[in-house]
Amino acid sequence: MNPTADDVLDTGYRHPRTPVELWLARQWQEVIGFAVGVGENFFELGGNSLDAARVVNAVFEEFGVQLPLNVMAEHPTIEGLATRLRDRNALLADPLVLLQRGDGTRPPLFLVHPANGQVGAYCQVAQALGEEFTVFGLQATGLHADADPLRAVPALARAYLDAVRSVRPTGPYFLGGCSTGAAIAHDMAARLDDVRLLAVIDDDLVDGVDEPGFTGPVPDPAEVVDRWRARGLVPPDETPAFVTRAWRVWQANQDALRDWRPQPYRGPLDVVRSDGRSPIAGWPESSVGAVREHAGVAALRELIG
């Protein structure tokens, strides 16, 4: 069999970008034993035919799709295999996305999407915490399906609380986010009892938080998606329609943050930063209780306990 583009080992880690890629990345990690980037070759990393059969079986159990046993030989990367499941994105367009399945000894951490609406950028934080920690992302409605995005922080907070309670009916709750996600997490915390952590995470600690970003009216979608493909920001088979949806989500989040009027939250606000200005600069003092600053993801691990 002649090698395809998928057969080439990608030595640079690239985090998952879509719900399907995130789901596949978790399956591969369970089989191989460590985090895998979307362009890395399953067999070059140590996977074998029995391991590939486990992935194929997991796909059938989750999606009801029976892939041929040789599909992993033809598509040995997460990026490539996700193209076979492209139309299943709608099934994984729920706001709640499992980024990392921990060992169950600690309450889960819920991280709210930044302005671009995507949660794949939090994979780096989840990995840095350690595989014993369960981490969920909350992604924006309308990013991977044709639905109107929410345009107000309170509406976003209520929708995401419903999603959180579906897997965690009672506290304690551990919440966080960066940029727009921090504001939404704040509004969620103000509506909950037994919040043990409200973390504002510095953008510098999150991989690609500003991508794919916009600065104004959406340009030609075909041109944009070609540029994003070249930079590895979207899968190679992504369509211009995604650009239009992504722009709508980004614009909705900009509107939501501009109109946000924080509810008082009297619990401590834990700022997890690297360097530079505080990620809560500009927040009204009346909206938070004590502000505690910490350095790096290691501090976040200690806060969760």
Claim to verify: residue 106 and residue 207 sit in the same structural domain: yes
Claim to verify: residue 180 and residue 279 sit in the same structural domain: yes
Claim to verify: residue 136 and residue 230 sit in the same structural domain: yes
Which residue range is the domain that position 156 belongs to? 93-304
Claim to verify: residue 116 and residue 86 sit in the same structural domain: no
* Count: domains in the chain: 2
User: Among 43, 73, 90, which residue terminates a domain?
Assistant: 90
Q: How much is the pLDDT for 77?
A: 94
- The pTM for the full model equals 0.86
* Chain mean pLDDT for the chain: 85
Sheet holding 269-273, edge to edge: 96-100, 135-138, 109-112, 173-177, 195-201, 269-273, 291-295
Give residue 284's pLDDT band: very low, low, confident or very high (50, 70, 90).
low
CATH number of the CATH domain containing 256: 3.40.50.1820
Q: pLDDT per residue over 238-283, tens digit each?
A: 889 888 999 999 999 999 999 998 888 888 889 888 765 555 555 6
Radius of gyration of the chain from Cα atoms?
Answer: 19
Claim to verify: residue 97 and residue 239 sit in the same structural domain: yes
User: Among 49, 74, 90, which residue terminates a domain?
Assistant: 90
Q: pLDDT per residue over 145-185, tens digit each?
A: 888 999 999 999 999 999 999 999 998 999 999 989 999 99
Dump the DSSP string for 8-34. S---S-----SHHHHHHHHHHHHHHSS
For the segment 207-216, the average pLDDT, to the nearest whole number, is 69
CATH number of the CATH domain containing 18: 1.10.1200.10
The tokens describing 108, both together, are: 């889960």
User: Among 75, 90, 105, which residue terminates a domain?
Assistant: 90
Claim to verify: residue 128 and residue 243 sit in the same structural domain: yes
Q: pLDDT per residue over 15-53, tens digit each?
A: 888 888 888 998 998 899 888 889 999 999 999 999 999
